[in-house]
Structure 1
Amino acid sequence: MKTKNLVLIALLLGMGTVLSLILAVTFAGMRPDVLLVMMFIAILLFPEKKHVLLTGLLTGILSGLISTFPGGFIPNIIDKLITAFVCLGLVLMLQKLTPIVRAGIISVIGTFVSGIVFLSSALIIVSLPAPFLALFNLVVLPALALNTILIVIVYPIVQSVLKRSNFEPIQRAV
């Protein structure tokens, strides 16, 4: 792992954490999971198992620390680790698509998986404050739509900035 790659992953996750905290106030419950979007972008840029493991673990810890869900720390870690590797699989399967289409598909499927894994693990570990289906419909589906819109806007900007700075993300997925 190169230091510059780790620094970029840390910057993406740091920005995602700060934006998640800011947007929590802005959208009052119906908010994009910006940290999850930044995790998707990091995986798109660095599709290697070691980077994905690190990104998923760090995203889970950060999400757990800022979670407003009662007892959500452990479910966040479980959710982000599983979601990260599902996204790596998607990156490998969708390599022939254009980057923006690939990012959109990864956001939709990744947010869906993340929501199901989080709610399922929270149900098992701490119980849910409302029925599973109600939480899925009220929290996961709006986040899915907002995350997809957000990644379609942010990912091309990140690519443009990286191109201007002569930064070359990992092209091969391993």
Structure 2
Amino acid sequence: MKLRNNIFTALLLAIGFILHQITPGILGGMKFDFLLSFIFISLLINDTFKNAMLTALLGGLLSALTTTFPGGQIPNIIDKLFTCITLFAVIKYIRCFNLNFFIVALIGGLGTLLSGTIFLLSAVFITGTPIPVKTLIITVVIPTSLINGIGAVFIYGAIKKALKISGIIID
């Protein structure tokens, strides 16, 4: 993996980290995880397994640093790892089709749903939750999935256009 690809991934995750940091916690300490949109964009632009693992580990650590969920540090790392591996496989399969905005929105939405569900289930097993899991899925995970699905389309479009204009080629 080339250094410029690692730097690009780190830059995307830094932007997502800042958005994740300034997002306030809501019901039960859960917060909308906008870092996920940038994780998905990183996987879409650079779809190598090494990048998926780098993105999973960095994304999990950055999410763990900013979590407001009680005991959410380990579940954040677990969910990013499983989500990135799963989406890596999905993206590799989808690459044989035309990558359009609908597919990007689907990856953003379903990836967020998968990530949120894994996070909550691992949090239940590790620390327990102050609010029922079903309530958290309905009030936090599903709305975040919709927002991240739409947001991923705009972010992906802007990043692809910026890369094209600047002449940067990510291999």
Superposition TM-score tier, normalisation by shorter sequence:
over 0.9
> Which moves more between the two structures, 87-96 or 9-18?
87-96
Aligned residues, how many? 168
- 8 Å Cα contact 2:31-2:68 kept in structure 1: no
Aligned pair in 2 of structure 1 residues 63, 31: CA closer, same or farther (>3 Å)?
closer
2:119 maps to a residue whose letter is: F
**After superposition, what is the alpha-carbon deviation per residue over 1:102-132, rounded to whole angstroms, capped at 9, x for unaligned?**
2111111101110110000000000011111
> Which moves more between the two structures, 70-79 or 13-22?
13-22
Give the distance between the partners of 1:110 and 1:164, measured in 2 at CA: 28
**After superposition, what is the alpha-carbon deviation per residue over 1:114-164, rounded to whole angstroms, capped at 9, x for unaligned?**
011000000000001111111110110010011111111111000001111
- 8 Å Cα contact 1:91-1:102 kept in structure 2: no
1:22 maps to a residue whose letter is: I
Q: Report deviation, 1:51.
A: 0.7
1:21 match: 21
CA RMSD of aligned residues (A): 1.6
1:56 match: 56
Give the distance between the partners of 1:135 and 1:23, measured in 2 at CA: 17
TM-score (norm 1): 0.91
TM-score (norm 2): 0.92
1:82 maps to a residue whose letter is: F
Aligned pair in 2 of structure 1 residues 164, 31: CA closer, same or farther (>3 Å)?
farther
In the alignment, structure 2 segments of 5+ residues that lack a partner are none
User: Is residue 74 from structure 1 mapped to residue 74 from structure 2 by the alignment?
Assistant: yes
